[in-house]
Structure 1
Amino acid sequence: MKVLFIGGTGKISMAISRQLIEAGHELYLLNRGSRNSELGGSVKTITADIHDEQTAAKLLDGLTFDVVADFIAFDTPDVERDVRLFEGKTKQYIFISSASAYQKPLSDYRITESTPLANPYWEYSRKKIACEEYLLKRYRETGFPVTIVRPSHTYDERSIPLGIHGEKGSWQVAKRMLEGKPVIIQGDGTSLWTMTHNSDFARAFIGLMNNIHAIGQAVQITSDESLTWNQIYECIADALGVKLNAVHVSSEFLAACSNDKYDFYGSLLGDKSNSVVFDNTKLKRLVPGFTAQVRFDQGVKQTVNYILKHPELQVEDPEFDAWCDKVIKALDDAIKAVKQ
Structure 2
Amino acid sequence: MKALFIGGTGIISTAITRLLAGSEDWELYLLNRGSRNEELPERVQTIQADINDEETVARLLAVHSFDVVADFIAFEPAQLERDYRLFKGKTRQFIFISSASAYQTPLSDYRVNEGTPLSNPYWEYSRNKIACEDYLMRLYREEGFPVTIVRPSHTYDERFIPMGVHGNRGSWQVAKRMLEHKPVLIHGDGTSLWTMTHSRDFAQGFVGLMGNLHAIGEAVGITSDETVTWNQIYGILADSLNVPLKAVHVSSEFLADCWDGDLRGGLLGDKANSVVFDNSKLKRLVPGFTAGIRLDQGMRETVKHILAHPELQEEDPEFDAWCDRVIAALGKAKKEILENRG
Q: Provide the TM-score with structure 2 as the length reference.
A: 0.98
Partner secondary structure for residue 11 of structure 2: coil
Q: Does 1:23 align with 2:19?
A: no
Match of 2:208 in 1: 207
The structure 1 segments of at least 4 consecutive aligned residues displaced by more than 6 Å after TM superposition are: none
Determine helix, strand or coil for the equivalent of 1:108: coil
Find the counterpart in structure 1 of residue 37 from structure 2: 36
Aligned partners of 1:43 and 1:20: how far apart in 2?
9
Spell out the pairing of 1:102-181 with structure 2 (5 A cutoff).
102-181=103-182
Correspondence for 1:72: 73
Aligned partner of 2:274 in structure 1 is 275
CA distance in 2, matches of 1:286, 1:40: 28
Query: C-alpha separation between the residues in 1 aligned to 2:70 and 2:258?
Result: 37
- Displacement after TM superposition at 1:97 (Å): 0.1
Q: Which residue is 2:301 aligned to?
A: 302
Shift of residue 78 of structure 1?
0.7
Q: Which residue of 1 aligns with 2:222?
A: 221
| Structure 1: distance between partners of 2:257 and 2:37 | 40
C-alpha distance in structure 1 between counterparts of 2:82 and 2:152, whole Å: 22
Give me the whole-angstrom Cα distance separating, in 2, the residues matched to 1:299 and 1:161: 10
The 5 Å alignment of 1:45-60 reads 45-60=46-61
**Structure 1 equivalent of residue 12 of structure 2:** 12
**Is residue 2:194 matched to residue 1:193?**
yes
> 1:278-302 CA deviation, whole Å, 9 max, x = no partner?
0000000000010100000000000
- 2:242 is aligned to 241
| Corresponding residue for residue 287 of structure 1 | 286
Which letter maps to 1:179? Answer: E
Identical pairs, percent: 71
Paired residue type of 1:132: E
Distance 1:132 1:114 in 2: 14
Measure how far apart 1:41 and its partner are. 2.7
How far residue 38 of structure 1 moved from its aligned partner, in angstroms, is 0.9
Shift of 1:40: 3.0
Q: Hey, what's the Cα distance between the residues in 1 that align with 2:55 and 2:100?
A: 32
Distance 1:312 1:128 in 2: 32
The amino acid that maps onto 2:18 is: R
CA distance in 1 between partners of 2:284 and 2:37 (Å) = 33
Contact 2:18-2:41 within 8 A present in 1 as well: no
TM value normalised by structure 1? 0.98
Q: Secondary structure at the match of 1:248?
A: strand
The Cα shift of 1:161 comes to: 0.2
Once the two structures are superposed, what CA deviation does each residue of 1:150-182 show, in whole Å capped at 9, x if it has no partner? Answer: 000000000100001111111111000001000
Give, in whole Å, the separation in 2 of the partners of 1:110 and 1:288.
Answer: 22
| Cα distance in 1 for residues equivalent to 2:330 and 2:125 | 30
- The 2-side partners of 1:40 and 1:86 are apart by 25
Q: Aligned partners of 2:247 and 2:184: how far apart in 1?
A: 5
Deviates more, 1:117-126 or 1:55-64: 55-64
Amino acid in structure 1 at the alignment position of 2:308:
K
Shift of 1:37: 2.1
Q: Which moved more, 1:277-286 or 1:37-46?
A: 37-46
Q: CA RMSD in A?
A: 0.7
Offset at residue 228 of structure 1 (A):
0.2
Whichever residue aligns with residue 143 of structure 2, its letter is T
Superposed displacement of residue 337, structure 1: 2.2
SS at the partner of 1:121?
coil
Task: Report the AA paired with residue 118 of structure 1.
Answer: S
- Per-residue deviation, 1:258: 2.0
User: Counterparts of 1:5 and 1:329 in 2: how far apart (Å)?
Assistant: 47
Structure 2: gaps spanning 5 or more residues = none
